[in-house]
Amino acid sequence: MPHGKLEKMASMDVHLRQLVPGKVSEDDKLVEYDALLLDRFLDILQELHGEDLRETVQELYEHSAEYEGKHEPKKLEELGNVLTSLDPADSIVIAKAFSHMLNLANLAEEVQIAYRRRIKKLKKGDFVDESSATTESDLEETFKKLVGDLNKSPEEIFDALKNQTVDLVLTAHPTQSVRRSLLQKHGRIRDCLAQLYAKDITPDDKQELDEALQREIQAAFRTDEIKRTPPTPQDEMRAGMSYFHETIWKGVPKFLRRVDTALKNIGIEERVPYNAPLIQFSSWMGGDRDGNPRVTPEVTRDVCLLARMMAATMYFNQIEDLMFELSMWRCNDELRVRADELHVNRRKDAAKHYIEFWKSIPPTEPYRVVLGDVRDKLYHTRERARQLLSNGTSDVPEEATFNNLEEFLEPLELCYRSLCSCGDRPIADGSLLDFLRQVSTFGLSLVRLDIRQESDRHTDVLDAITTHLDIGSYREWSEERRQEWLLSELSGKRPLFGSDLPKTEEIADVLDTFHVIAELPSDSFGAYIISMATAPSDVLAVELLQRECRVKQPLRVVPLFEKLADLEAAPAAVARLFSVDWYKNRINGKQEVMIGYSDSGKDAGRLSAAWQLYKAQEELVKVAKEYGVKLTMFHGRGGTVGRGGGPTHLAILSQPPDTINGSLRVTVQGEVIEQSFGEEHLCFRTLQRFTAATLEHGMRPPVSPKPEWRALLDEMAVVATEEYRSVVFQEPRFVEYFRLATPELEYGRMNIGSRPSKRKPSGGIESLRAIPWIFAWTQTRFHLPVWLGFGAAIRHVVEKDVKNLHMLQDMYQHWPFFRVTIDLIEMVFAKGDPGIAALYDKLLVSEELWPFGDKLRANFEETKKLVLQTAGHKDLLEGDPYLKQRLRLRNSYITTLNVCQAYTLKRIRDPSYHVTLRPHISKEIAESSKELIELNPTSEYAPGLEDTLILTMKGVAAGLQNTG
């Protein structure tokens, strides 16, 4: 190896060491993990693309690291000079390399976190990242805390637990920007890295693991990171369902066993009943049609049948193991009679399509006879769903399949009772109990699909009906008139319209969706959610349409309140709804209300939105109590802070008292699904965290804020909303600035979701979806929507009376809701960098708008200072050295990608921008550099620019651990 190269490599290592903060603690292996992955990757890069390219990567990394140290704008220009001199193919390889290095850094973090968790060194209150705070809600600890600190009896805890439900709703919001092909390779890299550092590893194991690690790193690097076609809703649903297959299916019974163990440790000798609804799963994938024209009735039908087929397949794959296990001959009379009956009526010929137990099972093995019949039905259930999915019809008779959950549970319960009565309870509590728990959790439909539609679309349908009946225009009627008509129709029996109703495409689409709901088994569906709901008639309209389309078991109707004004008006709207007698009788004392975090944040800024969401929940609970209704709040949280994201445990514990009451419904969106369920141990922790926090919130409610805290926050919210709106909605050139200073216009090219990024193609900020809005500001590391308004609000109350600063600090110390709000903002500041945002301005924004950008950056700095004062901190993240260290480690990679992105946008948007390219440096082994550019032959930009841009967007998103 030539001397220069050795030196270069050594310098990389030395540089890394100088740059990275020292070890935070004895068990801190992060730097070690990161350096190992980086070295392996740089060797692979050199093998594939030559020494010059590797050196260029190292040079860029060093420039970035130096910038991170001193934040001199000059360093960013030096970086820009190197990056703009690369030819198209080289710049694709470099962007891909940095994006890949960031993914590796994330994997090193995950292994480090898992390692520290294993050795139980995790202090309470550590943030891992906003998606997974490790204020670990360990079940055992929660139980012990409740018994020890709060004098709750173990029986009270057991009762509360048996009756609580956490329903996790998976949504395909377009924010998972990493392809599934890559996620799987990342999982294998993570496994290799963890095993390499295991205690009892032999030299041979080590060598093989090292080879496997290099192979997976290379395979991930050689996979195209860019999705070349947008996903369909069916693709999104299949991607979401893959988590059931890989972790959730087996994770649920494993988690429930841990609940049993934790209960045993506080003296409860019973197990959680298998039909206790502790964890439920629902989905929006293929059901959420709000603003997504690609979700058609046919898509909804497809995803339901696909989920049913998957569920039957997974049960079928497990049932033979259960038949093997239950080889006992002792049974109770009830089971013996059933087994004899089944044996007599069974077809005598062998079932050759089965691998095990394919000949007739003798009655001396009664459990196997009964389970054999369950297996036949599962086989037919799967085949029927498969045929309906592929041909629309099926020759499998419905009576040969399982049609409802009771039918499926009955023979399993019979086996369970029989084992227990013969003294074989320990056997019953083995795989059979796990299977029963899976059947109770996933049912025949795997997940329940929610349907979501905008209220306006229902109004259109009813307007068409009233116009057709010649009784006027429903759209023009007052709320009173609408309610009166809807209620008289709901009380009557006559059908409202026949097949002669004139329909536009949109109207047919709404009605056909109801027909699909009527056609499929009712356990396929969850709630019917109405977005933009404001009045009782919005809810009654859906009730009437369900009846008209002959939905046998109508779905529960859930109004969704999102914008600030809607949240304020929500309690009154719900009270009006409950005062309608017909509706009150229909709901049987239960109502669900959904509150949206994304649009409220986009509408008024984070502070006002968070406070309004808090108050709306308190008021809604009061209204429900008044009418004797049990309310379930459905929280529509995004992954990022700007869209209501944040650590699960803290988010639950900071909700107002009495608002959860043992039933919580919450969305798990986009990239958060991977962070919650991507690995077995993540799945386990997610289930544990939700269960423990929900239990704790109910049994140890958080403090109610003092009246003077409320008054202060009310005052602050007004100022914050005013400032936020004065910039975002009233500043005449804000939209122009936003479109120039961020990659918002180019976001749609990432192909990460099936939903258009705008509700209406023209329109300004208000028509932009919350995700691209946050995405664009995250990319430039400015995070404007998250912090804008905070500074003005804090400044206003402190200038008014200096005592208010002490009150704010008091609120931070003693009120979980306020603390979580401030902590999350502080963390976003730690991820922000106005110097990077200034570079985008300088390159992309017209000169007369520069002062506007300067003003916003001054606001960023001032707000940061005020937030730190409120928290009583000197530096950002001073209470969390681990997160601080991880951000420093990631930033050097992110900065290169940011600079690359800014200059690439410049070249895309300004054709006259001249760059001098140096000769091509990447040495390809077997491909010409042209191939890289030809992956995207239809681009309207100069060769290579679009791919470079998309790679930088994906890389930055991975580095900040959030897309939108």
Catalytic residues: 173, 602
Closest by Cα among 378, 379, 361, 352 to 324: 361
Closest by Cα among 17, 67, 15, 74 to 895: 67
> How many alpha carbons lie under 13 Å from residue 909 in its C-beta half-sphere?
20
Closest by Cα among 23, 460, 36, 523 to 304: 523
Phi, then psi, of 740 in degrees rounded to 5:
-80, -40
State how far the Cα of 127 lies from the Cα of 116, in Å rounded to an integer.
Answer: 13
User: Which residues share a beta bridge with 630?
Assistant: 590
Phi, then psi, of 450 in degrees rounded to 5:
-85, 150
Say if CB 645 and CB 636 are below 8 A apart: no
State how far the Cα of 296 lies from the Cα of 922, in Å rounded to an integer.
Answer: 46
State how far the Cα of 527 lies from the Cα of 219, in Å rounded to an integer.
Answer: 42
Closest by Cα among 488, 484, 402, 410 to 445: 402
Q: How far is CA 64 from CA 122, 782, 890, in A?
A: 31, 18, 11
The DSSP code for 525 is E
Closest by Cα among 773, 788, 768 to 724: 788
Task: Return the residue matching tokens 């109350």.
Answer: 797
Enumerate residues 6+ apart whose C-beta is below 8 A from 753.
Answer: 172, 173, 174, 175, 230, 231, 236, 771
The DSSP code for 165 is E
Task: Return the residue matching tokens 């890394």.
Answer: 16
State how far the Cα of 663 lies from the Cα of 633, in Å rounded to an integer.
Answer: 8
Token readout for 834 is 């106005």
Enumerate residues 6+ apart whose C-beta is below 8 A from 68.
Answer: 19, 888, 891, 892, 895
Token readout for 179 is 């392809």
Q: What sign does the CA torsion over 373, 377, 378, 380 have?
A: positive
User: Which residues share a beta bridge with 591?
Assistant: 631
Enumerate residues 6+ apart whose C-beta is below 8 A from 120.
Answer: none
Task: Return the residue matching tokens 């109207």.
Answer: 507
CA trace torsion 818, 820, 821, 822 (10° rounding): 90
Q: How far is CA 419 from CA 333, 334, 367, 435, 436, in A?
A: 11, 11, 9, 15, 14
State how far the Cα of 431 lies from the Cα of 440, in Å rounded to an integer.
Answer: 14
**Furthest-apart CA pair in the chain: how many Å?**
91
Token readout for 692 is 């423990």
Beta strands in 832-890 (DSSP E): none
State how far the Cα of 651 lies from the Cα of 571, in Å rounded to an integer.
Answer: 22
Q: How far is CA 507 from CA 301, 456, 503, 516, 544, in A?
A: 18, 11, 6, 14, 15
Say if CB 963 and CB 779 are below 8 A apart: no
State how far the Cα of 454 lies from the Cα of 293, in Å rounded to an integer.
Answer: 12
Q: How far is CA 842 from CA 76, 134, 335, 835, in A?
A: 12, 39, 79, 11
User: Which residues share a beta bridge with 632?
Assistant: 592
